[in-house]
Amino acid sequence: MNYQVLLYYHYTTIEDPAVFSAEHLAFCKEIGLKGRILVANEGINGTVSGTIEQTEAYMEKMKSDPLFEGIVFKIDAVESHAFKKMHVRPRPELVNLGLEEDVNPHELTGRYLSPEQFMKELQDENTVVLDVRNTYEYDVGHFRGAIRPEVQNFRDTPQWVRENRELFEGKNVLTYCTGGIRCEKFSGWMKREGFGDVGQLHGGVATYSKDPATKGQLWDGQMYVFDERLTVPINQVEHVVVGRDHFDGTPCERYINCANPECNKQVLASEENEAKHLGGCTIECTKHERNRYIVRNGLSEQQVEEAIALLEA
Ligand SMILES: [Zn+2]
């Protein structure tokens, strides 16, 4: 384990995100990092990988910059880079809630809960816990009993909450996300909407999983991450599989990208079902003329025809 993955964000004011991004990219490349960093007027959000020396150099530089005073890095030990390239991109905002009026977490946000406090409140009868990630993230792992908003995109979650107010009214509402960045805004937005008691898991599930008091307990499944690992374990005490195979609904924690390059959807699938469907998430995707599974496995035309005939039988 000579490499590390860093996950971090910091709400601050970056005057010129485009200029900052260009300079930051040059620095990251110079030290040999790989990963994805978003820069906006409201701050920075990144996940990068590198050797221990490279990642330490990066953290040192960030921590010494007054702009990022108080920045917290979540660190995972890994065996190699978790990204292929280095991107730093300016964006209008770090988190898109699809709101008419944005939320500034420095002005309005939910109560910050330590992992231990979060775990305690999670078990309270009057608590409801809301997952503020995408549904495909929820599906491979989540807190036990957490509400899964029925939305295609995270930015549609506020509207969904408005339509389902009764689930949250009069309750102690807890929110959580991967690293904490989405909750900062989302919990603030919920308070603005009039939900009284809203708490957020400070540092996200990434912090909760390593906390010596919680050991990731009450988390079922794995956690989806935005790098080549795809998922990481969270609960150090017990492992309950909640993921279900896209094709047959059996327990599964193996992500694949749909072989149709124009679809590229991430679904859970066993090796066997991936082979049976030639990597396509639907029959249309299986039949796509640039199906990557067929190319990767060097399948003959006859093999492809036979597989499709079986699927259509
Ligand atoms: Zn597809």
Q: How many CB atoms lie within 10 A of CB 75?
A: 16
Taking the CA atoms of residue 121, residue 122, residue 127 and residue 132 in that order, the dihedral angle to the nearest 10 degrees is: 120
Q: How many CB atoms lie within 10 A of CB 104?
A: 12
* pLDDT at 98 (0 to 100): 83
Q: How many CB atoms lie within 10 A of CB 299?
A: 17
What backbone torsions phi and psi does residue 53 show, to the nearest 5 degrees? -65, -45
Among residues 177, 183, 252, 285, which one is catalytic?
177
- CA separation, residue 140 to residues 135, 240, 279 (Å): 9, 10, 19
Q: Which residue has the tokens 């060097």?
A: 298
* pLDDT at 101 (0 to 100): 87
For residues 113 and 158, the answer to whether their CB atoms sit within 8 Å is no
**For the chain, the helix, strand and coil percentages under 3-state DSSP, each to the nearest 5:** 30, 25, 45
Rg (CA), the chain: 21
Taking the centre of ligand 1 as the mean of its atom positions, its distance from the CA of residue 34, in whole angstroms, is: 28
pLDDT (tens digit, 0 to 9) for every residue of the chain, 313 residues total?
899 999 999 999 999 999 999 999 999 999 999 999 999 999 999 999 999 999 999 999 999 999 999 999 999 999 999 999 999 999 999 988 888 888 999 999 999 999 999 999 999 999 999 999 998 899 999 999 999 999 888 889 999 999 999 999 999 999 999 999 999 999 999 999 999 889 999 999 999 999 999 999 999 999 999 999 999 999 999 999 999 999 999 999 999 999 999 999 999 999 999 999 999 999 999 999 999 999 999 999 999 999 999 999 8
Opening angle at CA 134, ends 16 and 185, nearest 5:
45
Taking the centre of ligand 1 as the mean of its atom positions, its distance from the CA of residue 78, in whole angstroms, is: 30
Taking the centre of ligand 1 as the mean of its atom positions, its distance from the CA of residue 6, in whole angstroms, is: 30
Taking the centre of ligand 1 as the mean of its atom positions, its distance from the CA of residue 289, in whole angstroms, is: 12
- CB-neighbour burial class of residue 58 (10 A; exposed 0-12, middle 13-18, buried 19+): buried
* pLDDT at 100 (0 to 100): 81
Taking the centre of ligand 1 as the mean of its atom positions, its distance from the CA of residue 262, in whole angstroms, is: 8
* pLDDT at 97 (0 to 100): 86
* pLDDT at 152 (0 to 100): 81
pTM of the model: 0.91
With a CB cutoff of 8 Å and minimum separation 6, the contacts of 205 are 176, 177, 178, 179, 219, 223, 234
For 201, the token pair is 């898991």
Taking the centre of ligand 1 as the mean of its atom positions, its distance from the CA of residue 293, in whole angstroms, is: 12
Taking the centre of ligand 1 as the mean of its atom positions, its distance from the CA of residue 267, in whole angstroms, is: 9
Taking the centre of ligand 1 as the mean of its atom positions, its distance from the CA of residue 302, in whole angstroms, is: 22
Q: How many CB atoms lie within 10 A of CB 37?
A: 20
Indicate if 177 belongs to the active site: yes
Strand ranges in the chain using DSSP code E only, listed in sequence order: 3-11, 34-40, 43-51, 72-78, 86-90, 111-113, 127-131, 141-143, 172-176, 198-201, 219-224, 231-233, 255-257, 266-268
CA distance 291 to 190: 43
- Smallest Cα–Cα separation from 219: which of 205, 207, 229, 230? 205
With a CB cutoff of 8 Å and minimum separation 6, the contacts of 129 are 122, 143, 145, 146, 147, 173, 174, 175, 176
Taking the centre of ligand 1 as the mean of its atom positions, its distance from the CA of residue 295, in whole angstroms, is: 16
